[in-house]
């Protein structure tokens, strides 16, 4: 499992992919706002078009092979869920360019990448929210607490 530093980097990657087409969907915005708190991360900066870090530099910060695979998966999930109404393809051209920039940096085997992209398509077809989908990617399928349960416990000290 990723540590706090790699979680922060993975969240920054998700933000950069989300912003790469110049707009953020409501689901992307919800994920960007909610996920750091759910992961217990307090030092994840909110990025904007002005301070957009390079995906290649973020990708180089990921030390383990598992984190690099997870980065590819998260980037694919964010890009795949954020289809704009005018987009002709599942991933718009700007997000596809950003995704490819990241993938080049991660140095994954083609077979690994094909498997990751297949699992991303499968996960996106399940119709879960992006927040639940990213939680599944970070912690394993169905290991993420139910969003309804979390919503009930938001005001209880010590709860997620």
Q: Is 159 among the domain residues?
A: no
Look up the domain containing 9 and give its range: 4-152
CA distances from 1 to 111, 129, 140 (A): 22, 22, 10
Name residues of the chain where pLDDT drops below 70: 1-2, 38-50, 82-90, 130-131, 133, 137-160
111-120 tens-digit pLDDT: 999 999 998 8
27-55 tens-digit pLDDT: 777 777 777 776 666 666 666 666 778 89
Q: Is 158 among the domain residues?
A: no
CA distances from 107 to 102, 127, 147, 149, 158 (A): 9, 30, 34, 38, 39
CA distances from 34 to 37, 117, 121, 131 (A): 6, 25, 23, 8
> Cα-Cα-Cα-Cα dihedral of 79, 84, 86, 89, to 10°?
30
Q: Is 157 among the domain residues?
A: no
How many domains does the chain divide into? Answer: 1
List the CATH number of the domain containing 70.
1.10.3680
């Amino acid at each position: 499992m990723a540590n706090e530093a790699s979680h922060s980097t993975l969240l920054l990657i998700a933000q950069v992919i989300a912003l790469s087409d110049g707009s953020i969907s409501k689901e992307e915005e919800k994920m960007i706002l909610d996920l750091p708190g759910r992961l217990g991360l307090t030092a994840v900066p909110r990025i904007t078009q002005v301070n957009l870090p390079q995906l290649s530099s973020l990708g180089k910060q990921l030390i383990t092979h598992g984190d690099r695979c997870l980065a590819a998966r998260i980037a694919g999930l964010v890009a795949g869920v954020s289809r704009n109404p005018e987009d002709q393809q599942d991933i718009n051209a700007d997000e596809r360019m950003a995704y490819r920039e990241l993938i080049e940096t991660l140095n994954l085997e083609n077979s690994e990448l094909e498997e990751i992209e297949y699992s991303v398509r499968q996960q996106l077809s399940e119709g879960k929210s992006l927040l639940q989908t990213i939680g599944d990617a970070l912690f394993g399928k169905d290991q993420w607490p139910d969003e309804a349960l979390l919503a009930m416990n938001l005001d209880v000290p010590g709860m997620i």
